[in-house]
């Protein structure tokens, strides 16, 4: 496998035109999810819109956009929930859109998320098309849309924005556009802590490209300069915010870890998650949930291994590996893990390749069935425990 082991798709038409079927399919799936959510919520005497814009993390992002950083909640058990835990790019965009339009901060957050989800879909298509072909690109986008927690893509959360930046950074990296990839990686690092995954992809790909060039003795000054510049720029977003938090809290470079500890977030190698799953087997009904969790994690790991066997580009494997590790091995609230895995779209590529085989009727029926199931589950989930 080479560092940039890709096969470009048909580039005779503009990328946006090639991605149009994927974007239309994505929009249809998300529209179905929103319609089912509205009907389900109305049946329970609720409005669906506040579920998308004014619950859980969306409230924290809105507060940062409106009032800035410095707000915290002290819980009776001594935990301190500080809004410094939330990275700034989404609140910045909410503030900008609020200043330029009559939209409230919450409305602005939802608008940013919806637009970002379309950009993410286009980025996923671009990556899959470049690695495989346009049919796989369309299927990858549709699979991302019909994920059980796909409703989060339409919420005022940062997952859609992060996935858009990550996907386009990876696409630029696969295309050898080092500076563009690095700038997008830096913005991803200002969006979520998992921005480290995009930075890792840039760094590992860059290091391996130098090793390859050394073996082939084919280094060019301009190319080397762009790669070095890219590797220097990529971590600036995440590093800048983390260092700023450390300075603001007076706790030095690791101050952000203390902020996360106040939310009981940390990296324990998966120990807390393993205990959480094990505790499910204390009674029969919850044991079924435990089995489901084990099967889900096993499926994710199996898809990742399949991606390795299918020689996915190193950039995708590094990115996906870090996203999976941070999501599965963190000690954060376990109900959040499904949405934390949303950015790991490359694990869907093996399934997209299978779905893209020339059985149009079968593929269509599978996709429609998954879209309906995703819409129903999203409405049930968001009217219940939801995505903290």
Domain edges within the chain: 15-175+250-353+361-382
Identify which of 298, 299, 320, 296 has the alpha carbon closest to the alpha carbon of residue 308: 320
Identify which of 159, 206, 161 has the alpha carbon closest to the alpha carbon of residue 181: 206
pLDDT of the residue at 2: 39
User: Residue 278's Cα: distance from chain center in Å?
Assistant: 27
- Give backbone dihedrals phi and psi of 57, rounded to 5 degrees, phi first: -60, -30
Name the pTM for this structure. 0.92
Q: List residues bridging with 330 in a β-sheet.
A: 267
pLDDT of the residue at 318: 97
Q: List residues bridging with 81 in a β-sheet.
A: 73
User: Residue 291's Cα: distance from chain center in Å?
Assistant: 25
pLDDT of the residue at 273: 80
- Give Cα separations from 122 to 23, 173, 197, 199, 235 (angstroms): 7, 16, 20, 21, 24
- Long-range pairs for 377-382 at CB < 8 Å and ≥24 separation? 377/148, 378/33, 378/36, 378/37, 378/148, 378/149, 378/150, 378/151, 379/33, 379/36, 379/37, 379/39, 379/40, 379/41, 379/151, 380/40, 381/148, 381/149, 381/151, 382/37, 382/48, 382/51, 382/52, 382/151
Dump the DSSP string for 114-154: HHHHHHHHHHHHHHHHHHS-HHHHHHHHHHHHTSTTGGGGG
Q: List residues bridging with 80 in a β-sheet.
A: 74
Dump the DSSP string for 202-217: HHHHHHHHHHHHHHHT
Dump the DSSP string for 284-347: HHHHHHHHHHHHHHHHHHHHHHHHHHTT--HHHHHHHHHHHHHHHSB-S-GGGHHHHTTT-GGG
Cα–Cα distance measured from residue 315 to residue 169, given in angstroms and rounded to the nearest whole number: 10
pLDDT of the residue at 1: 39
The token duo for 80 is: 């301190």
Cα–Cα distance measured from residue 86 to residue 190, given in angstroms and rounded to the nearest whole number: 9
pLDDT of the residue at 221: 56
Q: What is the pLDDT along the chain (388 residues), one digit of tens a residue?
A: 334 444 444 556 788 899 999 999 999 999 999 999 999 999 998 899 999 998 889 999 999 999 999 998 998 888 889 999 999 999 999 999 999 999 999 999 999 999 999 999 999 999 999 999 999 999 999 999 999 999 999 999 999 999 999 999 999 999 999 999 999 999 999 999 999 999 999 999 999 988 877 666 555 555 788 899 999 999 999 999 999 999 999 888 889 999 998 888 878 777 778 887 888 788 777 788 788 888 989 999 999 999 999 999 999 999 999 999 999 988 777 778 889 999 999 999 999 999 988 777 788 888 899 999 999 999 998 998 776 6
pLDDT of the residue at 3: 44
């Amino acid at each position: 496998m080479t560092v940039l082991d890709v096969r470009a798709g048909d580039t005779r038409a503009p990328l946006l035109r090639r991605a149009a079927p994927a974007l239309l399919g994505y929009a249809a799936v998300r529209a179905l999810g929103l319609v089912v959510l509205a009907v389900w919520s109305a049946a329970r005497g609720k409005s669906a819109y506040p579920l998308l814009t004014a619950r859980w993390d969306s409230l924290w992002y809105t507060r940062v956009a409106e009032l800035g950083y410095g707000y915290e909640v002290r819980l009776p058990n001594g935990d301190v929930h500080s809004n410094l835990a939330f990275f700034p790019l989404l609140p910045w965009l909410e503030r900008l859109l609020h200043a330029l339009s009559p939209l409230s901060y919450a409305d602005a957050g939802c608008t940013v998320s919806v637009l970002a989800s379309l950009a993410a879909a286009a980025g996923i298509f671009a990556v899959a098309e470049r690695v495989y072909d346009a049919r796989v690109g369309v299927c990858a986008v549709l699979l991302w849309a019909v994920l059980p927690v796909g409703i989060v893509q339409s919420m005022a959360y940062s997952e859609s924005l992060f996935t858009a930046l990550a996907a386009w950074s990876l696409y630029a990296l696969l295309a050898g556009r080092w500076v563009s990839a690095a700038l997008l990686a830096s913005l991803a690092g200002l969006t979520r802590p998992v921005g480290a995954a995009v930075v890792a992809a840039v760094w590992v790909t860059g290091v391996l490209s130098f090793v390859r060039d050394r073996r082939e003795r084919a280094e060019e000054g301009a190319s080397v300069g762009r790669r070095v510049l890219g590797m220097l720029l990529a971590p600036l977003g995440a590093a800048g915010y983390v260092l700023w938090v450390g300075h603001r809290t007076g706790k030095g470079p690791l101050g952000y870890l203390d902020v996360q500890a106040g939310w009981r977030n940390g990296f324990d190698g998966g120990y807390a998650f393993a205990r959480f799953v094990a505790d499910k087997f204390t009674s029969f009904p919850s044991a079924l949930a435990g089995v489901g969790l084990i099967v889900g994690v096993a499926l994710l790991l199996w898809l990742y291994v399949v991606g390795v066997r299918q020689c996915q580009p190193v950039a995708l494997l590094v990115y996906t590996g870090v996203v999976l590790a941070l999501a599965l091995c963190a000690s954060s609230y376990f109900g959040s893990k499904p949405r934390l895995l949303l950015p790991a779209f490359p694990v869907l590529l093996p399934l997209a390749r299978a779905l893209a085989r020339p059985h149009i009727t079968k593929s269509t029926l599978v996709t429609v069935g998954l879209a309906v199931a995703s819409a129903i589950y999203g409405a049930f989930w968001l009217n219940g425990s939801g995505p903290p």
